[in-house]
Structure 1
């Protein structure tokens, strides 16, 4: 699902995530693979010493180049990993701390600010430990909501898409109990988020019109009401309204069959009713190359689709695949916006 990167006008800003996790070492690894992975220039926000130590834990001799402004990253990127800012933390892989959380929050705040101002072409966010960040003033449910607030976008209009080489999925409801999902699903929710997805796939992925498959909620998509009426009362009316607007939507599809190999070529993205319905197939097919993309923002934001992985941090065994994929995808989206004259 990736194409050739055209360099965007501004480099990507990368936030460190929790310094005790695997993000710093994977940022370093990604820089060493920049040419073979066709990555656009990027710079890390803070953590110069931490990144060097993380690289050393993987046996990488990482040249770190301190920069005074994002613009300097374009030239510096060929010679070393550009790092903006003097903020740092002591290496303590696998042991999250307040010091590390303060660096993570600073890095995230500055990276988002630079993307909003247009000094960065987009942001790639490293995984965080939300409980630790909460101790130092982080009040949002997650980084998606943090980015939405910085952009002046309502949380409900910042849509999470999981994307890999084989599949794209969007969960319409995310971090809520399964028992709450039926009440949260409304015609308006389905229609509003489907429109956001269609617009974003056209703008950032060149898919116009995007072919959108919408799943059912119940087994066998309700089987004509015998296994639940959500499809009849809510999902089908929403699909019909969207189709009347000219969107290329189909469904409701039984989720147990939609993701089979012979079905996946028929759609560009699957809109799923709840968290696991969307994340199980993407993590099964593309675990080491999955990217979390936030749709509906005026900035480009991606993140590797994995957590902090404290248990393996600093051991040199974490796969860089998802970090590289997140950087590549952010670069492609930023380049497409730059080519279309869309402000960063």
Structure 2
């Protein structure tokens, strides 16, 4: 990566102690950037993993409070880029239970960040989007143009709606204010520092937590639904490259390695060195039966090779087991 393009720059990362945001903070510090790390919830264990250097300035801020966000940004005389990673998210069951809250809070956070960036004339703005924005009826693999401009549809999933409207707002701000706004669309992200401890966790940490506690891995639906995954550190490198390059305001981010949820359960068990049992629950919500992204632009941009799912799972399990030992 072109570390010299980030060295000496001041970057604001929202959700900076979160799963994805903390990896952006870590990578940017390694590249010599000054990082304004905004977070809402205390995560001292994550802060302890980040370098204790003067270039890191953690600030607790609720992004729903517009004035608090502006006050936090005012602590830096100049901000060169903002990476907006903060979001209210969760597994499919949590998404359906909290849809109204997700749409409301996620959109207000995006609006506050965009208006701050406009007023402060921040050169580069990244709004982390999601492959969830694509219609479940879209032809697979889905290209970047197969989005809200072609398939705008209602869904009871407030998270999906918030990502779609985030991209609509980004496009309108680009046109009206001439802002450089990037909306990367990652597939399912996994890796160290994910949420392993609550009912809101995603599929891979949920499987690991079940194995650790001696429970069966529960699969929603019949397990035939397929997904692709991207390791969190590879997502970070891809997004930073996206900004450095500047050609693609919107970019699919993932790998070609598609796997059924049933097969994923066995891969996770193998990585964890367990022989966990798999239990099918056909009554649980499953989302799309298949979601594959067209990655032509992604591979044209990359100057590195993303990890295979097997290697990424091995690194994730290693981190998970080491942190369990530290907690004992």
Q: What interval of TM-score do these two structures reach, taking the shorter chain for normalisation?
A: 0.3 to 0.5
The normalised TM-score by structure 1 is 0.34
Q: Which has the larger radius of gyration?
A: 1
Higher relative contact order (CA 8 A, sep 6+): 1
